Amino acid sequence: MNKRIEWIDQVKGFGIFLVVYGHNFPITEKYIYSYHMPLFFLLAGIFHPSKQNYSHIIKRAKYLLLPYFLWAIMLYLFWFFIGRFYGDSKLYDLSPINNFIGVFYAQGGKEYMNWGIQMWFIPSIFLTFCFFYIIRFLKLLYLQLILLFSFILIGFLLPYLSEKSFVWSLDVSLVALIFYSLGFYSKNTLINLNKVKSWFALIIFGVLHISCYSFNGKVDMYNSIYRNEFIFILNGISGTLFYLFLFKNIPIFSFFSFLGKSTIPILALHLRVLTLIKAVLLVIFGITLFNFSELQKLVISIFQILMLVPIIFIINKYVPILNGKITSKTNNC
């Protein structure tokens, strides 16, 4: 599947807005975290190539790892020369060497990724792609499913076997195969389901999503925190499918489509934009305690997105690789 689908871009755009909003710690943080990462993994699975060859790995590396390392190096340099002298970096006297290692390890919390913890997702989803690529090399479906479930089980077990963080969120990448594989195997149904059945699915998954969310604690995939694993899976799937069918049935949010085509720069820069907003509030208004109200958190999230729009246009025109595109005309799904 090479062509972009407008409503899927809108779902991605909605998802990246949730990432920005969630990092402002709103009252809805627990709800957002219950499904927003599964959403990205499932959407990525929809675009996994049906016919595989080695060039797909190279292509994914160019679209994911190359922009990741470019952004990671820039974010690290900003942190090294400026960011580490303020906030948590100064308070905890975080190591520049460990944080440089974190550029390549892409895990380890603020001790290793204080320059940009949010960037963990890009190497992780590349690993998920590679694991599913291996699964798909098996010709028989039942063998694919055996290996798939084995990988998923290993992903859930690894955090119990070691307290150390795994390179590129290896364990999370294995768990994410649940959603990635569902996106791949169900993509034709999801895309081609008629209007009536789509509305019915929307209602069913909405009810299931809210019910599951109510019975689980806060989920944090980056830290391998799933609470009840079964409810986490069910809620991640139902929540993702609820919003997928919502945007399929009501594809009117065109600005989300723009955001959905710009997820990498938004992911990389939204926290630095938040830092800029706080600096302005400090210098101009003398605000030193950033205890924002719920409405202010939402407004700030919107401002973060809007402030990134001109930067995204510049990136797309002059350095499209920073948005996962090899050229400005690349149509990367």
Residue 1 maps to a domain? no
Say if residue 33's pLDDT is above 50: yes
Does 4 have pLDDT greater than 90?
Answer: no
**Which own/partner pairs from 184-190 qualify as long-range (CB within 8 Å, at least 24 positions apart)?**
184/45, 184/46, 184/48, 184/132, 187/1, 187/45, 187/46, 190/46, 190/241, 190/244, 190/248
Task: Between 59 and 251, name the one with better pLDDT.
Answer: 59
**Statement: residue 328 has pLDDT above 70:** no
Structure tokens belonging to residue 140: 């028989």
Q: Give the range of the structural domain holding residue 66, as residue numbers without chain letter.
A: 6-323
Q: Minimal CA–CA distance to 278: which of 24, 19, 17?
A: 24
pLDDT, position 329: 54
The SS3 of residue 220 is strand
Distance set, CA 330 to CA 103, 244, 267 (Å): 26, 25, 20
Using the predicted structure, report yes or no on whether residue 253 has a pLDDT greater than 90: no
Residue 317 domain flag = yes
Mean pLDDT of the 121-147 span: 96
pLDDT 10s digits, 230-244: 999 999 999 999 999
pLDDT tens digits, one per residue of 34-90:
999 999 999 999 999 988 888 999 999 999 999 999 999 999 999 999 989 887 788
The answer to whether residue 129 is domain-embedded is yes
Position 333 scores a pLDDT of 47
166: left (phi over 0), alpha (psi -120 to 50) or beta: beta
The average pLDDT across 200-226 equals 95
Residue 191: is its pLDDT beyond 80?
A: yes
> Looking at the domain assignment, is residue 64 inside a domain?
yes
What are the structure tokens assigned to 88, written together? 């948590």
Six-digit token string for 223: 């830290």
Average pLDDT over residues 188-194: 94
| Average pLDDT of span 20-43 | 96
Report the percentage of the chain scoring pLDDT > 70.
97
> If you average pLDDT over residues 179-198, what whole number do you get?
96
What's the rounded mean pLDDT across residues 141-145? 95
Determine the pLDDT at residue 251: 82
- With contact defined as beta carbons under 8 Å apart, do 106 and 124 qualify? yes
| Ramachandran class of 141: left when φ > 0, alpha when ψ lies in -120 to 50, beta otherwise | alpha
Residue 330 clears pLDDT 60, i.e. is over it: no
Q: How many residues does the chain have?
A: 333
Q: What is the mean pLDDT of the chain?
A: 93
Pairwise CA distance, residues 84 & 94, whole Å: 7
Does residue 331 belong to any structural domain of this protein?
Answer: no
Across the range 13-30, mean pLDDT stands at 96
pLDDT of 2 over the 60 cut:
no
Of the pLDDT bands very low, low, confident and very high (cuts 50, 70, 90), residue 205 is very high
Taking alpha carbons only, the member of 59, 109, 58, 67 closest to residue 88 is 109
Q: Is residue 144 part of a domain?
A: yes
> What pLDDT does 61 receive?
95
- Tell me, yes or no, whether 99 lies in a domain: yes
- Determine contact, residues 126/64, Cβ cutoff 8 Å: yes
Q: Is residue 330 part of a domain?
A: no
What's the pLDDT band for 327 if we cut at 50, 70, 90? Answer: low
- Please give the tally of structural domains in the chain: 1
